[in-house]
Structure 1
Amino acid sequence: MSTIRPGTSGAQHRYEIVEDVLRANIAAGRLPEGLVLLEGPIAEILQTSRAPVQKALQRLEADGLVRRFEGRGFLVGAPDSRTAPIRTDVKTLGLDVPTEVDEALQSRASWERIYDVVEADVAACVVFGQYRIVETVLAEHFGVSRTVVRDVLSRLQERGLVRKNQSSHWIAGPLTAKTIKDHFALRRLLEPPALVGAVPLIDIGRLEALYERLVAAERDQGAPHHDSLEAFETQLIDVCVLSTPNEKLAGLIRDNLLPVQASERLLRQLGLPSDRAAVTEHRLIAELVLRGATDAAAAMLDRHLDAAMNRNIAQMKIVAVISEPRSVAAYLTRVAD
């Protein structure tokens, strides 16, 4: 099966390529009628960002191949279809993505190939102070064009990890107790209401499985591994908060979480301990949602975020007396705060 339009592969936009892949798989029956299509999983399969997937789905909707419904995402099928939503992980369906399609997508995603590394490098240093990123040095470091570098930095800027100063220099950090407080203040404003709105759409099977893991972790008297605690937090937010039907709200929450998660990950890498109390807080939130006590779950999430902020700030004070790591990426230059 070829999904690239003849004679146009070099000129196709990424959303057109994604659209062709989805259209072909719908026609072949690999994406059955009633299947819920979400941007995130499709973007992961095609190794692209969410934006072209979103536009592709909108174009398929205009052609009557998918439709909106009360939940998140789109349903495969015509607008008048009455098929009940099928919530199956699209990654398990074996979509046909021809080699030339994969190559075409990757040729348009140069920034994505280095983005994760740059994000990790930046996140690893910002708690130690303020750093400048020079576009030419970053481009030489990865062997890419300055256009690619600007794409990466623009996305880091959107996520609050870098900014431009008055001299138009790219600056990362510093991540301070005040900025942590600011991010958590936003979390407390955004996440509890999102949970309330998400409750009707929460995948109860996933939440029950998470609850059982939390109960088991709480009973375990040994110190919880920090990777497990980070996974619990990520899964709880994903299941109970990011299930909100408000995509703009979900996007704000995701972007605001990035600096917080980066700081917490670095604190763990520096050997600072995780707090067992977080497991109990996570378990209580999951349990209250499962019991149908939505308002109480939202209130518990708010209390958890307040406690998590205080734990994070207390550990940031410890980091303040640690010298700068030797492994800072070559394209990051320390500057005066």
Structure 2
Amino acid sequence: MGGYANDDQDSMLKPTNDPSVALDRMSIQDRAYQLLKSMIDEGRLQAGEKLLEAEVAKAFSISRSPARHALRTLCEEKLIRESAGRGYEVIGVRGKGVAPVTGLPRRAVLDNVQIMPVPQWERMYGQLERELCTQMIFANVRIVEERVAEHFGVSRTVVRDVLARMHSVGLVSKDSLGHWIAANVTPDKTHHLYELRWMLEPEALRQAAPHVSMSYLERARATALDALDGFPREGFDTDVVEHDLHVTLLSHCPNEEILHALGRTRVLFVPTRYLFDPVLHIPLSLIEDALREHVQIYTLLLDRKPAQAARALHEHLRQADDRWLKRFQGASSIKPMEMPPYLVKL
């Protein structure tokens, strides 16, 4: 968690906009679709080339069913079309119209990219997390391990692994009887967590500033600016933007005690993944404001003004507290949603 003072060390950090991060969260069929789409968009698969289901399956080391799904999705998006006889032809690139296809289709040469199966815990994590975030707005909730295992078709060991990961970010805890509990998130609780953040994060930023490379700051600012371009755009990921500023950048702070204390506030990051959830959403204009605040902080750091950047971060967190309050106000007008069988209201 110490300082990365130069570009060589900074490059050891995994890029936050690495597409493989997003791909790892997808189903096999969605990853196959994304890989083929990127090959078309980048010109590696060109108009007139022929794609066969069996060859896609072989190149990506997957079964024919997800390969078939990926090809049909591309066909629906008019990036490929069914070929005479069998298979599909590449016909166009998104945003550039349809390219003419002449003569007999050529067999496409696919990159060999092995798509690994999604681990069991990953398949269920997102759904369970979203359900908990929604229900926690209304009440304390108990998670029943055996029912979770039955619902998702996984072992109790997998369930415990998922709950341990959620415990590490403060989403769940254990009561005196050893039951997993997701505590009711109230306006007072979130306000107290934000108070902790706006007292500690600006100081963490001030201490981190001398150890953060200019190249990292430029990349992080570019990610935030890219998110603002045509916002909200397909593939926008609040996790990446939040993590860049509030986790990766602050991890350069040499004061481990400040970072340890801030670890308790990570639970506030989780609902930002669900901007369009009927309970957890907040107005998109407020998300745009938050992105602009991120850009301002990076700009001040790039201008070597850490004290001003710390003050800007303080104000950003005060505004974030208000944005969370609007989430509660929105939820107050919604009837609590029915709980799945693996959750029990306390």
Contact 1:198–1:241 (Cα < 8 Å) also in 2:
yes
Partners of 1:261 and 1:277 lie apart in 2 by 17
Contact 1:203–1:239 (Cα < 8 Å) also in 2:
no
2:319 to 303, 307, 329: 307
Per mean C-alpha deviation after superposition, the further-off stretch among 301-310 and 225-234 is 225-234
1:280 aligns with 2:320: no
Closer, same or farther: CA 155–251 of 1 in aligned 2, 3 Å: farther
2:262 to 253, 266, 271: 253
Structure 1 residue 166, shift from structure 2 partner: 4.9
Contact 1:124–1:262 (Cα < 8 Å) also in 2:
no
After TM superposition, list the pairs within 5 Å mapping 1:1-337 onto structure 2: 71=3, 85=9, 87-88=11-12, 114-212=124-222, 214=224, 224=232, 227=236, 231-246=240-255, 249-250=258-259, 252-257=261-266, 259-270=267-278, 271-274=281-284, 275=286, 276-326=288-338, 328-335=339-346
Read off the aligned partner of 1:330 and give its amino acid letter. Answer: P
Q: Percent identity?
A: 32
Tell me the secondary structure at the aligned position of residue 136 of structure 1.
helix
Closer, same or farther: CA 125–267 of 1 in aligned 2, 3 Å: farther
Could you list the runs of 5+ residues in structure 1 that have no partner in the other structure?
1-37, 39-69, 74-83, 93-105
Structure number with greater Rg is 2
Instruction: Identify the residue that residue 96 of structure 2 maps to in structure 1.
Output: none
Closer, same or farther: CA 90–322 of 1 in aligned 2, 3 Å: closer
Closer, same or farther: CA 265–325 of 1 in aligned 2, 3 Å: farther
Could you list the runs of 5+ residues in structure 2 that have no partner in the other structure?
19-116
Structure 1 residue 297, shift from structure 2 partner: 0.8
Closer, same or farther: CA 90–308 of 1 in aligned 2, 3 Å: closer
1:286-318 CA-to-partner distances (Å, cap 9, x unmatched) read 111111111111111011101110121122111
Partners of 2:309 and 2:141 lie apart in 1 by 40
Partners of 1:203 and 1:284 lie apart in 2 by 17
Closer, same or farther: CA 268–178 of 1 in aligned 2, 3 Å: farther
Structure 1 residue 111, shift from structure 2 partner: 5.7
Partners of 2:309 and 2:264 lie apart in 1 by 23
Structure 1 residue 273, shift from structure 2 partner: 1.5
Tell me the secondary structure at the aligned position of residue 325 of structure 1.
coil
Structure 1 residue 125, shift from structure 2 partner: 2.5
TM-score calculated relative to the size of structure 2: 0.57
Closer, same or farther: CA 155–324 of 1 in aligned 2, 3 Å: same
Read off the aligned partner of 2:335 and give its amino acid letter. Answer: S
Number of equivalences: 242
Instruction: Identify the residue that residue 39 of structure 2 maps to in structure 1.
Output: none
Closer, same or farther: CA 133–262 of 1 in aligned 2, 3 Å: same
| RMSD over equivalenced CA pairs, Å | 3.9
Partners of 2:9 and 2:244 lie apart in 1 by 23
Partners of 1:143 and 1:215 lie apart in 2 by 41
Structure 1 residue 115, shift from structure 2 partner: 4.4
TM-score calculated relative to the size of structure 1: 0.58
Read off the aligned partner of 1:195 and give its amino acid letter. Answer: L
Structure 1 residue 163, shift from structure 2 partner: 2.7
